[in-house]
């Protein structure tokens, strides 16, 4: 699913010094936002990607946000 959102923006992401902020309003373990960032990397190694997320559920919020994709 993350690749779908990134591919729609591929013309902008391939330009030098591309910047994208990724907001996941229900981030949980941040799997979607980290996957989106990893989809951008092959398109442009120099892209500046910033991840933002929020989670209302305290049980999910306390989980570590590390992924080995």
Residue 50 resides in a domain: yes
Q: Which residue has the higher pLDDT, 11 or 22?
A: 22
Mean pLDDT, residues 2-24 taken together = 76
Domain coverage including residue 40: 2-61
Computed on alpha carbons and rounded to an integer, the radius of gyration of the chain in Å comes to 13
Mean pLDDT, residues 34-63 taken together = 82
Residue 66 resides in a domain: no
Residue 52 in this model has a pLDDT that exceeds 70:
yes
Residue 67 resides in a domain: no
Q: In DSSP terms, which residues pair with 50 in a beta bridge?
A: 21
Query: How many domains is the chain built from?
Result: 1
- Count other C-beta atoms under 10 Å from residue 1's C-beta: 7
Query: What are phi and psi for residue 58, nearest 5 degrees?
Result: -65, -30
Residue 34 in this model has a pLDDT that exceeds 60:
yes
Residue 68 resides in a domain: no
- Spell out where 1-69 has E strands: 19-24, 48-53
């Amino acid at each position: 699913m993350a690749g779908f959102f990134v591919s729609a923006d591929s013309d902008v992401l391939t330009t030098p010094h591309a910047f994208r902020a990724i907001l996941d309003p229900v981030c949980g373990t941040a799997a979607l936002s980290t996957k989106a960032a990893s989809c951008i990397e092959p398109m442009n190694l120099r892209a500046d990607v910033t991840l933002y997320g929020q989670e209302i559920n305290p049980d999910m919020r306390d989980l570590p946000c590390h992924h080995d994709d």
